[in-house]
Structure 1
Amino acid sequence: MTQRPASLTPEFLDGLVQRVPGTTGNTWKLTEVYTGDLLVELPQSSPADIERAFDTARTAQQIWGSWPLRKRLKVLKKFHALVLDNQYLITDLIQAESGKNRRMAFEESCDVPMGTSHYIKRAPSVLKDRKHAGPIPVLSHSTEVRRPKGVVAIIAPWNFPFATGISDTIPALIAGNGVVVKPDNKTALSPLFGVRLLEQAGMPKGLVQVICGEGPDVGGPMLANADYVMFTGSTATGRIIGELAGKHLIGACLELGGKNPMLVLEDANVDEAVHAALFGGFGNSGQICMHIERLYVHDSIYDEFRDKFVAATEAMQIGATYDFGPDIGSLVSVDHRDRVASHVDDARAKGATVLTGGKARPDLGPAFYEPTILEGVTKDMLAGSTETFGPVVGLYRFSTEDEAIALANDTDYGLNASVWSKDVKRGLAVARRIDSGNVNVNDILATAYASKGSPSGGLKQSGVGARHGDQGLLKYTDAQNIALLKKQVMEPKAGQSYEAYAKQTQSGLRWMRKTRLR
Structure 2
Amino acid sequence: MTESKPLGTNPTAPAPAGARTAEDVVTPEVVAQLIRGVIGSRRTANHSPFTGAKLADLPEATPEDVALAFTRARAAQPSWAATSIRTRAAVLLRFHDLLLERQAEVLDLIQLETGKARLHAHEEVQAVAVAARHYGRRAMAYLRPRRHTGVVPVLTKVTEFRQPRGVIGQIAPWNYPLELSIGDALPAFVAGNAVVMKPDTETALTALWARDLLVEAGLPAEVFPVVLGDGPVVGPEIVRHADYVSFTGSTRTGREVAQGAAARLIGVSLELGGKNPMLVLRDADIEQAAAGAVRSCFSSAGQLCVAIERLYVHDSIADRFIERFAERTRAMRLGNGLAYGADMGSLAGARQLATVTQHVEDAVAKGATVVAGGVARPDIGPYFYEPTILDGVEPPMAVCAEETFGPVVSLYRFTDEDEVIEAANATAFGLNASIWTRDGKRAHALAVRLRTGTVSINEGYAATYGSVRSPMGGMKESGLGRRHGSEGILKFTQAQTVAQQRLLPLAPSLGMDDEKYAVVMSHALRALKALRLS
Task: Flag whether TM exceeds 0.5 (same fold).
Answer: yes
Instruction: Tell whether 2:274 aligns with 1:235.
Output: no
What is the match of residue 118 of structure 1? 134
Question: What is the letter of the counterpart of residue 21 of structure 1?
Answer: I
Aligned partners of 1:8 and 1:92 also within 8 Å = no
What is the match of residue 163 of structure 2? 147
Deviations 1:239-294 (A, max 9, x none): 11111110111111101100000000000001110001111111100001000000
Aligned-partner Cα distance in 2 for 1:84–1:116: 11
The correspondence of residues 72-151 of structure 1 with structure 2, limited to 5 A, is: 72-151=88-167
Aligned-partner Cα distance in 2 for 1:61–1:276: 44
What is the match of residue 21 of structure 2? 4
Aligned partners of 1:60 and 1:207 also within 8 Å = yes
Question: What is the letter of the counterpart of residue 372 of structure 1?
Answer: T
Aligned-partner Cα distance in 2 for 1:322–1:18: 26
What is the match of residue 295 of structure 2? 279
Match of 1:248 among 251, 257, 264: 264
Tell me how large the CA RMSD over aligned residues is.
1.2
Match of 1:376 among 392, 397, 401: 392
What is the match of residue 423 of structure 1? 439
- Following superposition, the deviation at residue 348 of structure 1 comes to 1.1
What is the match of residue 465 of structure 1? 481
Aligned partners of 1:492 and 1:501 also within 8 Å = yes
The correspondence of residues 73-472 of structure 1 with structure 2, limited to 5 A, is: 73-472=89-488
Aligned-partner Cα distance in 2 for 1:293–1:203: 39
Secondary structure of residue in 2 paired with 1:144: strand
Question: What is the letter of the counterpart of residue 172 of structure 1?
Answer: A
Aligned-partner Cα distance in 2 for 1:271–1:423: 16
TM-score w.r.t. structure 2 length? 0.95
Deviations 1:368-408 (A, max 9, x none): 01111111111311100000000000001001111211111
- Following superposition, the deviation at residue 7 of structure 1 comes to 3.5
Question: Does 491-500 or 81-90 show the bigger shift?
Answer: 491-500
- Following superposition, the deviation at residue 495 of structure 1 comes to 4.1
Question: What is the letter of the counterpart of residue 216 of structure 2?
Answer: Q
Question: What is the letter of the counterpart of residue 195 of structure 1?
Answer: R
Aligned-partner Cα distance in 2 for 1:210–1:423: 48
Deviations 1:299-322 (A, max 9, x none): 101111111111111111011111
Deviations 1:441-474 (A, max 9, x none): 1100000000000000101111101000111010
Aligned-partner Cα distance in 1 for 2:488–2:300: 25
- Following superposition, the deviation at residue 103 of structure 1 comes to 0.5
Aligned-partner Cα distance in 2 for 1:385–1:226: 34
- Following superposition, the deviation at residue 179 of structure 1 comes to 0.3
Aligned-partner Cα distance in 2 for 1:74–1:472: 18
Secondary structure of residue in 2 paired with 1:323: coil
Aligned-partner Cα distance in 2 for 1:158–1:461: 20
Aligned partners of 1:354 and 1:374 also within 8 Å = yes
Question: What is the letter of the counterpart of residue 461 of structure 2?
Answer: L
Aligned-partner Cα distance in 2 for 1:193–1:394: 37
Aligned-partner Cα distance in 2 for 1:269–1:445: 18
Deviations 1:338-377 (A, max 9, x none): 1111111111111111112111111110110111111111
The correspondence of residues 46-57 of structure 1 with structure 2, limited to 5 A, is: 46-57=62-73
Aligned-partner Cα distance in 2 for 1:458–1:384: 20
- Following superposition, the deviation at residue 60 of structure 1 comes to 1.4
What is the match of residue 17 of structure 1? 35
- Following superposition, the deviation at residue 494 of structure 1 comes to 5.5
Question: What is the letter of the counterpart of residue 438 of structure 2?
Answer: K
Aligned partners of 2:334 and 2:345 also within 8 Å = yes
Figure out how many residues of one structure are paired with residues of the other and give that number.
516
Question: What is the letter of the counterpart of residue 120 of structure 1?
Answer: G
Deviations 1:223-243 (A, max 9, x none): 111011111111111111111
What is the match of residue 527 of structure 2? 511
Question: What is the letter of the counterpart of residue 69 of structure 2?
Answer: A
Aligned partners of 2:377 and 2:385 also within 8 Å = yes
What is the match of residue 37 of structure 1? 53
Aligned partners of 1:263 and 1:297 also within 8 Å = yes
Structure 2 runs not aligned, ≥5 long = 3-19
Aligned-partner Cα distance in 2 for 1:430–1:182: 39
Aligned partners of 1:287 and 1:391 also within 8 Å = yes
Question: What is the letter of the counterpart of residue 444 of structure 2?
Answer: L
Structure 1 runs not aligned, ≥5 long = none
Moved over 4 A (4+): none
Question: What is the letter of the counterpart of residue 474 of structure 1?
Answer: L
Question: What is the letter of the counterpart of residue 12 of structure 1?
Answer: V
- Following superposition, the deviation at residue 74 of structure 1 comes to 2.0
- Following superposition, the deviation at residue 107 of structure 1 comes to 1.6
Q: Identity across aligned pairs (percent)? A: 47
Question: What is the letter of the counterpart of residue 468 of structure 1?
Answer: H
